[in-house]
């Protein structure tokens, strides 16, 4: 295994780290969790939020790192909650999202991974289309119990192979291909 013990995954969310660690391990990359609460800029761009967080984190720890920011974008709600997904989940939760929807339930998850070191940053995006279920199903964290990936009938919370198809997987795969060949 190609060990990159100096590569940090900076987040305040251990769930994101756990998923990223498993995914990156499948590509031969080892990461360390670096818990840090970062200020999040207000922006409609998940990529810009991730870039600012990565730059802020690098200024504090001075080591190569990755940041992941993501959002659930629901078509019937004009992309809401999008970059405000964490806030929406904390305030209205899955039940609140379900109460906002009628017939049209198409949605997508977007993940933006930003790598940052002393030479600058590089970003990678992963998208996964799907829909919002009519009720919470399964376990998981965040919106996992209500998001159904395209071509499946189960929510992320019901799937055992979420890490093999998620938006985070797609972004981390792009990052891995770049990082291992740079």
Cβ(4)–Cβ(27) below 8 Å: no
Calculate mean pLDDT across residues 150-165: 95
Our answer to whether residue 69 is catalytic in this structure is: yes
Q: What is the pLDDT of residue 2?
A: 45
Segments making up each domain of the chain, as ranges: 8-181
For residue range 32-89, list pLDDT tens digits in order: 999 988 888 889 999 999 999 999 999 999 999 999 999 999 999 999 999 999 999 9
Res 1 pLDDT > 50: no
What burial class does residue 116 get, using C-beta atoms within 10 Å of its C-beta: 0-12 exposed, 13-18 middle, 19+ buried?
buried
Give percent of the chain with pLDDT exceeding 90.
88
- Averaged confidence pLDDT in the chain: 94
Q: Which pTM value belongs to this model?
A: 0.92
Cβ(33)–Cβ(24) below 8 Å: no
From 69, 78, 117, 161, active-site residue: 69
Cβ(162)–Cβ(156) below 8 Å: yes
Q: Which residues of 28-53 are buried (b: 16+ CB within 10 A; e: fewer)?
A: ebebebbebebebeebeebbbbbbbb
Q: Which one has a higher pLDDT value, 39 or 148?
A: 148
**What is the full DSSP assignment across 21-79?**
HHHHHHTT---EEEE--------S-HHHHHHHHHHHHHHHH-S-EEEEEEEEEEGGGTT
Calculate mean pLDDT across residues 86-115: 96
Q: What is the pLDDT of residue 182?
A: 80
CA distance 131 to 148: 5
Cβ(145)–Cβ(139) below 8 Å: yes
Cβ(119)–Cβ(97) below 8 Å: no
For domain 8-181, which CATH number applies: 3.30.565.10, 3.20.20.70, 3.90.950.10, 3.10.20.30? 3.90.950.10
């Amino acid at each position: 295994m190609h060990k990159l013990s100096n590569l940090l995954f900076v987040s305040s969310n251990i769930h994101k780290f756990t998923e990223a660690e498993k995914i990156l391990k499948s590509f031969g990359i080892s990461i360390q969790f670096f818990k840090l609460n970062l200020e999040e800029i207000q922006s409609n761009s998940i990529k810009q939020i991730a870039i600012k967080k990565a730059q802020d984190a690098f200024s504090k720890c001075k080591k190569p790192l990755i940041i992941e920011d993501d959002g659930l974008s629901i078509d019937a709600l004009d992309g809401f909650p999008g970059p405000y997904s964490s806030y929406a989940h904390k305030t209205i939760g899955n039940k609140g999202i379900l109460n906002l929807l009628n017939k049209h339930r198409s949605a997508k998850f977007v993940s933006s991974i930003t790598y940052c070191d002393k030479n600058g940053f590089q970003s990678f995006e992963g998208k996964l289309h799907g829909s919002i279920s009519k009720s919470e199903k399964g376990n998981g964290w965040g919106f996992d119990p209500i998001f159904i990936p395209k071509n499946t009938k189960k929510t992320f919370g019901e799937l055992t192979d979420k890490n093999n198809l998620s938006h985070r997987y797609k972004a981390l795969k792009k990052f891995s291909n770049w990082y291992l060949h740079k």
